[in-house]
Amino acid sequence: MKNILSFFIIALTIIACSKEKLDFNENKINKNSVELIKDSTLFVNSSEGEEVKFSINKMTKDSIIESEIFGETGKLIYKFTFNKELKTGECTTLKYEEPIYVNPNPKIKSQIKENLLTSPQTKDGLQKIFKNYSKILFNKKISSQNLNYSFSISILEKDTDNKPTVINIEIKQNDKIVQNIKYNPSFWSYNDFKPIDYFNTSLQLQEGIESYHNFITADFNFDNLEDFAILYDSGGNGGPVYSYYFQNKKGEFKKPQDFPLNEGPFPKEINKKDNTLTISGPIGCCKIETTIFQLKNSKWKTISSKQENMNKE
């Protein structure tokens, strides 16, 4: 009986080892079948830059785009597989225990994985990022219901303190100039053009009192058209102040007269589900005021406003 049992154990061990060896060889073949075509640093979905790789699986004929976007408190990892059409798309969000300027090799605090099936919002964001990469990597014009624009600014006049007083906003569509806007900021200590795109990407809002961009694209009035905010005043303790321009159905960018945030702060939250914008800022020395505006029946209304102590215990 012992001999029979020993025989079966040896046989199972041999089979298991053979299977393990076979699986290893299969993985090796699959790995070797992926050929790296392009490895680039792009500035598509992040103003800080991102590492993007384009590969082709020679066995399945699928194309693969992989990217890493690094930040001070974490990083985003994207992977897209496609063959004429997008097959899979996924995003992994890693958050560090401490910023990289404190520890250059931080430990991972949390990890969230999302894909095309996670939610409609996630699917929409992943598809936009995929289109952005495809447009840059393959130099193709990708049709979309919402036309993509490119923006640039130039300083026309300065005051005696070398601060910009007149700025030209140049708007292009498919490399063709479609609009120029003469803009008069209040107080802008201009160093460089620091744009960020929240419209064509799934980037989370990251504007703050001390860290902010001077040109921001997003959909502020929930009509699925690209709008932009441009710095109006660098601000003081309350943070930067912006002017807003909305795109109309003709593709023209106009300054809305009834928008409650004009010459005001940038939203802390843009809620597309409820059509609300939330702002928050200091009041006096010791309080924070949070206000929520809602767009309903083409009119903006304040639906809540409250003040809280800065140091709540």
DSSP bridge pairs for 94: 75, 111
Angle at 119 between CA 115 and CA 121, to 5 degrees: 100
What is residue 241's three-state secondary structure? strand
Q: β-strands 176-183, 164-173: how paired? A: antiparallel
**Contact, 74 vs 94, CB < 8 A?**
yes
Q: What does the alpha-carbon distance between residue 272 and residue 154 come to, in Å, rounded to a whole number?
A: 32
Asked if residue 50 lies in contact with residue 43, where contact means CB atoms within 8 angstroms, the answer is: yes
136 to each of 44, 52, 308, how far by Cα in Å?
Answer: 8, 11, 46
Ramachandran region, residue 132 (left: φ > 0; alpha: ψ -120 to 50; beta: rest) = alpha
Q: Write b or e for each residue in 40-50: b if 16 or more Cβ atoms lie within 10 A of its Cβ, otherwise e.
A: eebebbbeeeb
Per DSSP, the three-state class of 30 is: helix
In this prediction, residue 16 carries a pLDDT of 41
> In the numeric block, which tokens belong to residue 258?
């009834």
Per-residue confidence of the chain (313 residues) as pLDDT tens digits?
545 444 444 444 443 444 333 333 433 435 568 888 877 776 666 655 678 888 999 888 889 999 998 877 888 999 999 987 899 999 999 999 988 778 888 899 999 999 999 999 899 889 888 888 887 777 543 333 345 688 989 889 988 888 889 999 999 987 789 999 999 999 876 666 778 888 877 677 878 776 788 899 999 999 989 999 999 998 777 789 999 999 998 999 999 999 999 999 999 999 999 999 999 988 877 888 999 999 999 999 999 999 888 775 5
In DSSP terms, which residues pair with 302 in a beta bridge?
A: 293
Cα separations in angstroms, 3 against 6, 8, 11, 196, 245: 5, 9, 12, 72, 84
Structural domain spans, the chain: 34-129, 191-309
Pair 188, 213: CB distance under 8 Å: no
Q: Which helix (H) or strand (E) holds 22?
A: helix 2-32
Best CA proximity match to 203, nearest among 39, 38, 43: 43
Q: What's the CA gap between 148 and 126, in Å, rounded?
A: 16
Q: Which pLDDT score, from 0 to 100, does residue 238 have?
A: 78
Overall residue count recorded for the chain in this entry: 313
Query: What is the model's pLDDT at position 45?
Result: 63
307 close to 283: Cβ distance less than 8 angstroms = yes
Task: Check: CB of residue 168 under 8 Å from CB of residue 156.
Answer: yes
The pTM score is 0.56
